[in-house]
Structure 1
Amino acid sequence: MASPARVDVIVPAYRGLALTLACLESLLGASCRLPHRIVVVNDRSPQPELTAALRKLAGTGRLELLENDRNLGFPATANRGLALSPGRDRVLVNSDVLVFDGWLDRLAAAAHAAPDIGTATPFANNATICSYPRPNTDNPLPADIAPAALDALCAAENAGQTVELPTAVGFCMYIRGDCLDDVGLFDAEAFGLGYGEENDFCQRATHLGWRHVLAGDVFVVHAGGASFGEGKKPALARNLAVLAARHPGYLPRVREFIRRDPVAALRRNIDVARLARLGPPPLVVRLCHAKDGGTARRLDDEARELVAAGFTPATLAPAARENPDHRVRLTVDQPEVAAELVYALPDELPRLVDDLRRLGTAGCIFHHFLDLPPEALGLPQLLGVPHEARVHDFGWFCPSINCLNDTGLACGEPDRAACQRCADVGGSDMPHLTVEALYAQSGRILDTAVRVVAPSRDAAARLRHCFPAARVEAVPHPEPALAPPPPPAILPWDGRRPVRLAVIGAIGEHKGYGVLLAMARDANRRGLPLSFQVAGFTKDDFPLFATGKAFVSGRYQENEAVAVIRELDCHLALFLSVWPETYCYTLTEAWRAGLYAVGFDLGAVGERIADTGWGWRLPPTRHGAAVNDRLLALLRQPPPPGTLLP
């Protein structure tokens, strides 16, 4: 479409001398081909120095100045400037915005890209749904690139690209003259001093068939809230209520826009270009789920190891736990550019591969494929790079991940037909895969991996049994050295002194919640001198509290674990996982807190207790009374450390 003949740039001014003058200098200094005039409307500023500075600038003839006789508020002040030249395009610019060369030309091109576009909004660091680098965030300006250079990068990477918005954002809002003539001015009476008037305008425009777009090739700086100060929050809340009453579908449309985040691709273009400018060390892409726990902790530790080895860690994970769009998020661990690049697979798989090549990917590490789209699993082959694999659980061959059967205990890993029956009856965390398909998918990854690392001998043996062609190594997770915990001071037990047992972590069924509850109920029923102190949280705290034999501390930060355990002042730590854990970080935390461990002789827990001798092992069972009896026998007559109790 044809560009406008001339544009008015309207700047309402009220307070903020330095910001307003910086804004005007940027508007006056920016080189643009499109003819335009700058109109400042002084809303009876309470700062005499600002009024004097505006009059001085107007005296040079570089801008036109209008002055209100009284303070009218932002909408009415904006209207005064917008009403100057009917039919002409206008840009409403807040007085705390900085613009750069070519900004107006690109913004006008976006607004005139189609006949039904009424408004165009640029990217800014503080621009709600148009914010960069993070949406709906007041972002600090990036440290790796100057704002003018960032605008030039947007112009190069997103040239001519727009995304339809549910509304323009008023900090820098290009309004086509025919749209303004059709819709009318802001509703100054309803929106008072300001906030929300541009959203109301845009909804009225939408009802008349106009659209609103983000100009992805323009970036401006926006300080935000300079005129309102402390009055922003109440004004915003009041005017949002007006908006919701007038346009009932508006806020739901905005929420759905935020959920879909169609701007992500344009932000991604800029992020990748910024990363490429930095020339970071080669990437190692770790593929994983998006859940918390020991896997996430290992990813953090591994990231530090990769940086020390001269690589840039990156993590590819599902973009959301509920992920119907099959999106993945690539998070690049680069301090200067905190990039989170989102791709919808399979459609954007070629773009993901291109970006990873552009950033210099050296290899991939598979940590977990739960919830990842299957297309992501072929990345090493598409990139032509080697890959390794890490074992955190048994999702490689078990559809329920933890090798538990319908008895609630470790299944013993029967043949594949029995596994399928178990998955069909007991549920599967990967319902889209049969057991045979799971083995085939895992085999393609594990059998071609340069290295498969399991953190315990037990886990390595289980993987080798299922995938004999895989090069599996048993390598414990690297952790700082720790001193042996002292032998429990309560031993030998006199049979009367109350015994406090620490249970550490997030205790769900697979971590032995059912066993713990049965033990607490049995201790209550028989009047046993045992109490159970949970350092963390459980799947359901109330039944435990109801026994009178349990206490639950609540969630804690990882670095608080040892302090929380010590504060509970326990005599032993209890590990009741009914699945064969692959490592168990909480066992290390118990030892660091100075506690011997008593745990089921399953997986890494039994293996590590036997190797160190820092505790005792129990036969796995779900019968709480049997576990209590074994504990009482241990307390009365402790066998050598590391022993498996009868």
Structure 2
Amino acid sequence: MAWATALTYSDTTRAVPQLEALAREHPGGEIGAALAAALLRLGAVARAAEVLAAVLRRNAIPWGDGRVELAQAIVAAGGGCGWLGCSGDELRLFLRGAGASPTELALWAGNHRLAPVWRPCADGGWAAPIPAGIPIGELLRTNLPLLGNPLDLTAIRRVEGFVEAVADGLRGWAWQPGAPEAPIRLQVSFDARVAGARLANGPQAVPHDAPTARPRSFAIPVADIPHGTRVVRVWGADGRDLAGSPLRLRPEARPVRGGRAKTPERDGRNGAAPVVLLVHTETHPVADAVLASLLKSGSPVIAVAGGIAPSATLREAARDQRLLLLRWRRPRGLAAAWNAAAACAPGRDVLATRGDLQLDASGLGALHATVAADSRIGVAAPLSNGWIRGGYPEADRAVALEPGRADEIAARAQRVASPPIETIARGGCLYIRRRCFDALGGFQDRGDEAANVVVEEFGRRASAAGWRSLIVPLVFVADLGVIGSTSLAQRALAAAGDHGLDSRYPERGKEADALATARHALDMDRLVQAVRGRPVTLIVTHNEGGGIERHVQERCAARARAGGADVLLRSGPDGTTATLELASEAAAPLCYKLPASRAALVQLLTRVGVGRIEFHHLRRHHRAVRDLPQQLQVPYDVVLHDYALLCPRANLVATSGRYCGEPDLAACERCAHEHELRPRIAPDGVAALRAESAATLRGAARIVAPSHDTVRRFGRYVPDLAIEVQAWEAPAGHPPAPTPAARRARVCVPGAINDAKGYEVLLDCVREAAARRLPLEFVVVGHTRDDAALLQAGAFVTGHYTEAERAALIAGQRAHVGFLPSVWPETWSYALSALWEAGLPVLCFDLGAQAERVRATGAGRCIPLGTPSQMINDVLNQLADSAKNLPNCGVNLTGA
């Protein structure tokens, strides 16, 4: 975020999309204000006003951070007639026009007209204390089209936090998302006796991924908790309990009645429709749609509004007696809510769910049919995306889903129709046979716990009591309240509950993944459906990123534009695992263990309709992968990115850390043995590797390399190959930035600098320049294998970046010359292209494609490999000086 905000002033055009992406992922006042400022600088006043209005509605506008001035600037530029905001306990108002005053302004909260007492401020605006008694949920509306109208004080004042019991008392954290810097005062009660206020002012101690979050910690020592306390509540100034509150320090006992299900009646199928226990603890956009679908199912519905005002749809259904509505002034936790609702419908099976789970009548019917099929089945749960572990589409974490994607997965689940799986039920939705519910005494009430925890605990108790526990992959219930829209507090509650389950059930972490086969079947169907009707290419590559990954993604994008589809087969770390994924979709890949799963892999690739294979990299792939063209009976191409087909080290670098000079075979065998590469990469030796590679190359329908130097080197080992030279990039056509005049020459070194990329050369140059006090400064745009040593020597390192950020970062350094210290014969160099795009002359060693391209363009200089650092620095100085007199260093990036 700091980088994007800084670019607002240095490169506003590039900053806007970065800030827009941040604002979508982390909506809030600081990011929104930065985006509005960037848009204003670009002259997009209407859009800036729209963004600012959204910020003002739900976020405080603090004094002194520039937001007041920004709002006034947008209004002054024609972005509205004024603005309305909130700062602390005051309303802020600014009206455009000389002499404008709030005398004509009318302000309402609901149907009640307010009469704030406005006073003028030094900045030309107005301020007034917020009138008391505004009901929670009411918006402040005005009769003027001001930015920020209507004002949502409830959102601005909302306190988010989490509390949990620990060995030495209670601990937690809280903050105010609409006003991150506001002081946080919490109220605490012990068994309904209010104990006064607590201030959350500890350091930010909660791990999170929200760049503007300011959670502050608090603690209540065990000595401050009265002896014998059963229930503790902690709530904020907005009246809402923190996540985890109430805490039941002594869990309510739920006696087991009716014994174990050892000999259930064989004919005891329950044909009556279950009662749906629908709990609303937070408002959610899908809640009304879920309710409407469930009301059509024919099952009675008992809804619980726990600590929130029920929606109009919920109130109307209760008024029409289409459901029973239980209203609680304060939330008591899901377990208590479901237990209370179940007590209103004795004798009926129950379906416990939440208002933000997309359960419909057909899913309810399928769960009912599953349980009714066998009287030994006590519980059944649908598959969902909201599980911390074991769910779908990802097995190791909960993932957010857009409504459209949720519908697609639900349809896929019905299409695949995997059978029910006997395993511990989990998730936020659970169907329970009534006899099982009564026998276990309902849900275990531990206070406010996440639905995943409450459901899984019941499933484990049911299984321990002899009941069958199932998950039904045929039914997918989308949890639309997960992650993306879920607060930090709810995520903390879920994580704490998951840890609690691990503590209470130590065997949990050792259990096999019972749903792996069902998820694999769903993913296979996803893959087949995604490429249906298109020509499909299988890309075989590694999983190590870098320039190879960039080129693969560019080829896939080009084929997608032409109507094709690409499936990527990536290698795993152990040489036997391979993963299959769609190039166009960020989804969990399919995993195959080779050679055991070779037949299954071939079968799926046949279903997908692979018509051609491209081998980009075979590093760490099992040898069975080389046989895929023969297994599938399709032609294949080989794309050369490095020398892994010839050299176990892939880059022709010797033990010295520099280009080996390509010695005889015996020297190569010794090198592979000394580096312990033979068991992992060349188990049968270098000669066998080259023989196998030669067979692969000669069998290819087409071989592509990015440079003539690459063709020449491969020709030494496998003669008479027809290799097509194809530059990885077309001319970019970017005009270079003017080189700034400066007393010191700045050298830009882009990329991930390891030994092969010339780390030792670079470190020597930095140290030598410092020793001679040369007017040279080195900036690494990227990272190195040892940043600390470089920084200590006097270089600057920006750190990791994405491909989208690289060009802006290089341009932002205002360098005079580029340096590629790479000591191996590269086949291409995206880093060289990036330096040329920035208009910089480049120094490199006379080696590989980098030298071929520099010589072809004349946009730089090549020096012999092994040149001492003193001479390298002298040449860098000369290049930097000459660059100041060059009108244009932009070049044809192909080097042709």
In which range does the TM-score fall when normalised by the shorter chain? 0.7 to 0.9
Residue 22 (structure 1) aligned with residue 324 (structure 2): no
Shift in Å at residue 456 of structure 1?
Answer: 0.8
Deviations 1:203-261 (A, max 9, x none): 434555667543221123443379xx98x653663575366346417599469879996
Aligned to 2:650: 401
What is the aligned partner in structure 2 of residue 219 from structure 1? 476
1:452 partnered with 2:703: yes
Q: Which residue of 1 aligns with 2:263?
A: none
**Match of 1:267, as an amino acid?**
L
2:399 to 115, 125, 137: 137
Listed as ranges, the matches of 1:217-366 within 5 Å are 217-224=474-481, 233-234=488-489, 237-238=492-493, 240-241=495-496, 244-245=499-500, 247-248=502-503, 253=508, 264-272=519-527, 274-275=529-530, 279-318=532-571, 322=573, 326-333=577-584, 340-366=589-615
8 Å Cα contact 1:179-1:205 kept in structure 2:
yes
1:423 is displaced (CA, Å) by 1.0
SS at match of 1:372: coil
- Using a 3 Å threshold, how does the CA distance of structure 1 residues 75 and 431 change in structure 2: closer, same or farther? farther
Counterpart Cα distance in 1 of 2:800 and 2:526: 35
The secondary structure found in structure 1 opposite 2:269 is coil
Query: Aligned with 1:569: secondary structure?
Result: coil
Q: Find out whether 1:603 has 2:848 as its counterpart.
A: yes
Q: 1:572 to 1:261 in 2, by over 3 A?
A: farther
261, 271, 276: which is aligned to 1:10? 276
The AA in structure 1 aligned to 2:581 is: L
Tell me: CA distance 1:243–1:220, structure 2 relative to 1, closer, same or farther (3 Å): closer
- With structure 1 as the length reference, what TM-score do the two structures score? 0.82
C-alpha distance in structure 2 between counterparts of 1:106 and 1:473, whole Å = 58
Where do 5+ consecutive residues of structure 1 fail to align?
31-35, 491-495
SS at match of 2:628: helix
Equivalent in 553, 556, 566 of residue 811 of structure 2: 566
Q: For 2:872, give the aligned amino acid.
A: V
Shift of 1:347: 3.9
2:716 alignment partner, SS class: helix
Looking at structure 2, the residues matched to 106 and 568 of structure 1 have their Cα atoms a distance apart, in angstroms, of 61
What is the identity percentage for the equivalent residue pairs of Structure 1 and Structure 2? 30
- The one-letter amino acid of 1:188's match is D
| Equivalent residue number for residue 785 of structure 2 | 539
Specify the alignment match of 1:517 in structure 2: 763
Matches for 1:406-445 after TM superposition, within 5 Å: 406-428=655-677, 430=681, 432=683, 434-445=685-696
Assess, with a 3 A threshold, how the Cα gap between structure 1 residues 111 and 556 changes in structure 2: closer, same or farther. Answer: same
Q: 1:23 to 1:562 in 2, by over 3 A?
A: closer
Ranked by relative contact order (alpha carbons within 8 Å, sequence separation 6 or more), the top structure is: 1
Specify the SS of the correspondent of 1:388: strand
Contact 1:464 1:472 in 2 (8 A): no
Judging by fraction of residues, say which structure has more helix: 1
Helix, strand or coil at the partner of 2:672: helix
| 3-state SS in 2 of match to 1:329 | strand
Paired with 1:637 and 1:23, the residues of 2 have a C-alpha distance of: 70
Change in Cα spacing, 1:339 to 1:603, as seen in structure 2 (3 Å) is same
TM-score (norm 2): 0.61
Letter in 2 for 1:186: F
Structure 2 residue matching 1:12: 3-state secondary structure: strand
The CA distance in 1 between the partners of 2:303 and 2:783, in whole Å, is 58
Q: 2: distance between equivalents of 1:578 and 1:10?
A: 68
Structure 2 residue aligned with 1:390: 639
Partner of 2:838: 593
Aligned counterpart in structure 1 of residue 427 of structure 2, from 146, 169, 182: 169
User: Kindly tell me: are residues 577 and 17 of structure 1, through their superposed partners in 2, closer, same or farther at Cα, counting changes over 3 Å?
Assistant: closer
Cα distance between partner residues in 2 of 1:259 and 1:453: 44
CA RMSD of aligned residues (A): 4.0
1:154 equivalenced with 2:154 (yes/no): no
CA distance in 2, matches of 1:220, 1:486: 53
CA drift at 1:567: 2.7
Is the alpha carbon distance of 1:125 and 1:248 closer, same or farther for their aligned partners in structure 2, counting shifts above 3 Å?
A: closer
Q: Which moved more, 1:2-11 or 1:132-141?
A: 2-11
Q: 2:739–2:814: 8 Å Cα contact kept in structure 1?
A: no
Letter of the 2:427 counterpart: V
Counterpart amino acid of residue 853 in structure 2: R
Which has the higher mean CA deviation after the structures are superposed, 254-263 or 132-141?
A: 254-263
Distance in 1 between residues matched to 2:746 and 2:340, nearest whole Å: 74
Residue 353 of structure 1, CA deviation? 2.6
1:575 aligns with 2:820: yes
**Unmatched runs of 5 consecutive residues or more in structure 2:** 1-265, 892-896
1:80 and 2:337 correspond: no
Residue deviations 1:586-645, cap 9 Å, x none? 11111111111111011011111111111111110174335335556778999x999xxx
2:379 aligns with one of 102, 105, 119: 119
Question: Structure 1: which amino acid aligns with 2:380?
Answer: A
8 Å contact kept, 1:125–1:140:
no
Distance of 1:282 and 1:433 partners within structure 2: 37
Maintained 8 Å contact 1:521/1:547? yes
Per-residue deviation at 1:562?
Answer: 3.1
SS at match of 1:5: coil
CA contact (8 A) 2:423 2:469 kept: yes
- Report if aligned partners of 1:130, 1:214 keep a CA contact under 8 Å in 2: no
- Return the alpha-carbon distance in structure 2 between the equivalents of residues 323 and 214 of structure 1: 32
Aligned length: 612
Tell me how far 1:391 sits from its aligned partner.
0.9
1: CA distance between counterparts of 2:326 and 2:735? 78
The alpha-carbon deviation at position 504 of structure 1 amounts to: 1.5
Judged with a 3 Å threshold, the aligned counterparts in structure 2 of structure 1 residues 255 and 556 are, in CA distance, closer, same or farther, namely: farther
Q: 1:12 and 1:260, CA in 2 relative to 1: closer, same or farther beyond 3 A?
A: closer
Query: In the superposition, relative to structure 1, how do residues 408 and 91 fare at CA in structure 2: closer, same or farther (>3 Å)?
Result: same
